[in-house]
Chain A
Amino acid sequence: GEDVEQSLFLSVREGDSSVINCTYTDSSSTYLYWYKQEPGAGLQLLTYIFSNMDMKQDQRLTVLLNKKDKHLSLRIADTQTGDSAIYFCAESNKTRAGNMLTFGGGTRLMVKP
């Protein structure tokens, strides 16, 4: 079945850039997503990218997709303490009913002042 992998933890200093990486196995993935989860809260959709794109930028967020290597990354520029959270990578395939998502294990981002 589909598998999505992420590193568990990332620590950066405030003002630096953060890069969170993700790999996936489904070569038929249609969409790839980044979600943010703060403690005790649900998931917030940060951004997504279609599989026919290489890059997407949205304010401080830059998503890079290497489809050949099945590698997705999220870069957060000028990281702030409010960015501390768990970031989940997810993928889906439009052939799955309702566009069901497969999630990675999450990367805990800690931003030090």
Chain B
Amino acid sequence: EAQVTQNPRYLITVTGKKLTVTCSQNMNHEYMSWYRQDPGLGLRQIYYSMNVEVTDKGDVPEGYKVSRKEKRNFPLILESPSPNQTSLYFCASSLVLAGTQYFGPGTRLTVL
């Protein structure tokens, strides 16, 4: 089944404790992206990747890191999480940018 998977789905952590949210797609898509969703603000792009080893900042990259060492994986790293990073995070992939983006199920992160 074609899909985007994220892990973990739920995470409660404390300020400053490094964490990684994994994202994997099995559709051989070149384009992958991370978003955060907050009430009243919609979806905001954090980072995106056009292909392996090619990443770029979205609209809200501060406090986040990403890497794209393999085509299928695009992990999101929070080196020192803060409470303002409490949010619902989505990973997405598409064959090309201007095409259907397939979203993962989301990761709800709470930083205390």
To the question of whether A and B form a pair in one complex, the answer is: no
B-side interface residues toward A, CB under 8 Å? Answer: none
